Structure 1
Amino acid sequence: MVLKQCTPEEQNVDSAAIERMFDYWDEMNTHVHSCAIMRGGKLISLRTWEPYKADSLHMLNSMSKTFTSIGVMYAIQEGLFDEEDYVISFFPDVCSDVKICDNMKRVKIKHLLTMTTGHYPDNADFIISDPNPVKAFLSSEISLEPGTKFVYNTGATYMLSLIIGKVTGKSLADYLTPRLFEPLNIKKLFWESDSDGNSYGGFGLNIDILSAVKTGQFLLDRGCVDGKYLLSPELIDKATSAIVPTVNMEGQAWLDELRKCKEWQPSDWDCGYGWQIWRCVYNGAYRADGAFGQYCVVVPEHDLVVAVFSGSECSQYLLKGIWDCLIPGIECCNSVIGDSAICKKRKSEFTFGLSVPEDQDTESLFGEAYSVPDNTLGIKVIRLVSYGLTVFELNNGSYEIKSGYNEWIYNDLGFDVPKCSFPFVLRPYSHLNAAYAFYGSEYKIRLLCDGYAYYHEMKMMKNGDDMLFVCRQYPGGDSFEVKCTKIKGKDC
């Protein structure tokens, strides 16, 4: 795909409307990382929030599901299988070894695509961690008739990836490479896989923001790239339609969390579900949707695609910004045509506004080493070398983290370090950034990886001769608080 760019006004979009959307997102603390907007097949805006970069790979979470759907569409187009095929027909060897309930025997490809397998109240996500996921899925109990109820089900998407692997002999990522990624000029990507090399399907894909918006344009153009149809328009029309109703969903924890948002608009989740694609409240719009605000929103009525990556605790604000701020600025352009809005950066709202030390207790933390009790990150020792230089010791090695006051410091830890949870499982192309601050007597460090929806905040406070250490992951993460003992005579 040849990506052309122009100013918003050249596509009859008011630049001020785009800025209002960005301002609204910042006002609502959505922690946006990057955003790309296309109209009329041209890139009209590309914005990043410090320290994120436009070319950084970013985790998509469940937005990955839409890419799995595209893979299924290609497989159907190529005659590898059909949406009416029964799931058990792909795994006769497994079926002979397990007891299969009657409803499982009725599950078809289309039920995996629309998350209507009949698993209720539990879904099939448990198969993701099972050493034999196909066996675990086929032997699971299904209480409802397949096709009768929508229940969000990442395990079903994983099964689609496994089926593609079964019929092609390739991982989903490899299968899509010549069919989608190469035609869209997506050269850099990473898809997490199981021990057998199968892409997880329902999550784990990492691409940059331009690759996301180009995929939305591919769907908007109904499979046409540079004047050539690569995928059946009829299949895309079906995949992006409201095949199953999603009104009044209940008993789904992720939805209960979204409803806590004061700007909750249930209609954005009440408009139906297609093949791993959500319909939106706006007329004819649909979206690829990932946890914590990974979106690719397609609005055919306005020939518009908006891709956004974030770490939002309430992603409804992102959609509301598109509907209430951006859409009204289309075809109502009053701004004077100015410079292109491409490649501008915005300050991160959770980086600045920091304070300076207020007492000597904070300063006395430094130059010391502290023993850390058992914790979820596996940290054994914290060495506070100096302001902006902290060393975390784990069983598998030490991590020297440099951080800046009122600025992000780039830390290239490399991908060869052993995988662990401190504070992220490092992936190809991901790099750690850090910033530090003082809030009264607290020494605070914020750590983020440029490809993640999450960031970690660590607070250290004097506690007599020792130190209190508090760590929390945002958004939606666990936290812990431990008392750390000063190690006497430890060389810092």
Structure 2
Amino acid sequence: MTTLPRSTPEAQGVSSSGIAAFLAHCQSAGLELHSVMLLRHGRVIAESWWHPYTPAKPHMLFSLSKSFTATAVGLAVGEGRLSLDDKVISFFPESTPETISENLAAMRVHDLLTMSTGHAVEPMSGLRSETNNWVKSFLAAAVPHAPGTHFLYNSLATYMLSAILHKLTGERLLSYLTPRLFVPLGIESPTWEQCPLGMDVGGWGLSVRTEDIAKFGQLYLSDGLWNGVRLLPEGWVRNATRKHISNGDDPASDWAQGYGFQFWRCQHGAYRGDGAFGQYCVVFPEQNAVLAITSGVKNMQEVLNQVWKHILPAFGARRELHRPTGAGHVFSSAYSFPANDQGLKSLRLESTESQLTLTLDDHTLSGGFGMWLLGETSFRQWHGKPHETSGAAAWSEDRTTLTLRLCSVETPFIAEVLCTFEGESVTFQYSLNASFGPTEFAPLVGARAQVASKATSRESAPPQSE
């Protein structure tokens, strides 16, 4: 078995006392950990197993399996076998119901990945006792919501991804991943539970060792590169681990920070795959670290709370640029500008409690409320290409001004956007911290555009102070 290189915590800039405090507090809180492995800079700096669990024994991953299934989809997309916009029913014409609803017809591979299939109830209920054909059962379930609009954790959606890959490749998911992922990472003898028809279940059922989990996390941390060789398609990691759909608005819950392609967004800029009873693969991009845990716990959030409390500070204090502070606010509106020297014609604002999306003509700028949010924009391109951004936004207390600070994280440039609302108009101001040209641009006053729908909710009304 290929093993990861080892180092000491301090040699990699991590406080061993913080790691010890994490282990001690988990024990005192009654959290039954089975194994822990912490990596920084690609090196194992801490590892522990609780007897009779051992490094050589595989462990059931439960829903952490989903992240591996999504990875297989990424590989298949990279090979040109399918597209994320492919319709789910297109793969199973023999299993579709007699009447295909509009929402079922619209469901895409992308919707399976983001748990936004449109179901109101997970179609897993009673599945094993009802039928051996899980694909047919999934397609027969009611889809009351438009796909892509409603988050519902849905293990059978992940099974459908496995079934699609099985259909396309003619082999088990496990077999497909072996030469492409498991062998390159040195993951030996993985096993995967199968459905009654012989397909790997995808949403659960994978068993590997703790170090294998850590390797998987390191692959994602390294943007899909392993020992300098690209295993995952370029851009897949970033797309798979960013927030695609909202799954709640509790700032203290790591199950409400947004969902990607079978990955959960976490607090503190991290993301993870996880499984029932405390199987974790936590990736810390800002700290260049990975944490793999197997366990048998009831309170999965408490394990993560201990990670944020003890492990995160062990990496050292994180210095942060000035970030606008202020709560989010649900708001949606569009404005048009008169002819101007900047060539801007329109402004569209979509604000939720957690995220701002600001669209200038066809260019999108995004920011998080209370956090930096990764994104990409083609506005004021550098070298003619879209650039990666990290943005933070804030509403004023009276909700008459909206601030967005947008860092182009691979350049020196930081943009400040200020929107001031008055009646049916907005004053838009834009500035840069540095530039070979001007850094301040003349304010633009835009008139509120006609709203197409007749919605009367607060979301379509101008901000009002309360």
Q: Deviations over 1:40-79 (max 9, x none)?
A: 0111111011221111110111111000000000011111
The match for 2:300 is 315
Report the TM-score when normalising by structure 1. 0.62
**Contact 2:70–2:262 (Cα < 8 Å) also in 1:** yes
- Distance in 2 between residues matched to 1:43 and 1:192, nearest whole Å: 29
Which AA in structure 2 matches 1:282?
Answer: H
What displacement does 1:128 show?
4.9
- Distance in 2 between residues matched to 1:90 and 1:173, nearest whole Å: 20
The match for 1:117 is 117
- Distance in 2 between residues matched to 1:128 and 1:155, nearest whole Å: 10
- Distance in 2 between residues matched to 1:302 and 1:212, nearest whole Å: 18
Q: Deviations over 1:471-492 (max 9, x none)?
A: xxxxxxxxxxxxxxxxxxxxxx
Greater relative contact order (Cα 8 A, min sep 6): structure 1 or 2?
1
What displacement does 1:3 show?
1.5
**Contact 2:132–2:197 (Cα < 8 Å) also in 1:** no
2:257 is the counterpart of 1:276: no
What displacement does 1:91 show?
1.1
2:188 is the counterpart of 1:187: yes
What displacement does 1:301 show?
0.3
Classify the secondary structure of the residue corresponding to 2:185.
Answer: coil
**Contact 2:86–2:108 (Cα < 8 Å) also in 1:** yes
The match for 2:77 is 76
Give unpaired runs (5+ residues) of structure 1.
250-264, 333-492
Q: Deviations over 1:102-149 (max 9, x none)?
A: 2111100000000101100x1122485231111111122111111111
**Contact 1:101–1:139 (Cα < 8 Å) also in 2:** no
The match for 1:90 is 91
- Distance in 1 between residues matched to 2:23 and 2:309, nearest whole Å: 12
Which AA in structure 1 matches 2:299?
Answer: C
2:298 is the counterpart of 1:327: no
What displacement does 1:16 show?
1.0
Q: Deviations over 1:81-112 (max 9, x none)?
A: 000000011112223x6332221111000000
Cα distance 1:198–1:212, how it changes in 2: closer, same or farther (>3 A)? Answer: same
Give unpaired runs (5+ residues) of structure 2.
318-466
Q: Which moved more, 1:138-147 or 1:304-313?
A: 138-147
Which AA in structure 2 matches 1:52?
Answer: Y
Which AA in structure 1 matches 2:67?
Answer: T
Report the TM-score when normalising by structure 2. 0.66
Q: How does 1:119-138 map to 2 (within 5 A)?
A: 119-120=119-120, 122-126=121-125, 128-129=127-128, 130-138=131-139
Q: Deviations over 1:209-229 (max 9, x none)?
A: 000011000110011011111
Q: How does 1:318-467 map to 2 (within 5 A)?
A: 318-331=303-316
The Cα RMSD (Å) is 1.7
**Contact 1:98–1:135 (Cα < 8 Å) also in 2:** no
Which AA in structure 1 matches 2:142?
Answer: E
Cα distance 1:127–1:86, how it changes in 2: closer, same or farther (>3 A)? Answer: farther
- Distance in 1 between residues matched to 2:3 and 2:107, nearest whole Å: 40
What displacement does 1:23 show?
0.5
Which AA in structure 1 matches 2:190?
Answer: L
Which AA in structure 2 matches 1:242?
Answer: K
User: What percentage of residue pairs aligned between the two structures are identical?
Assistant: 40
**Contact 1:2–1:226 (Cα < 8 Å) also in 2:** no
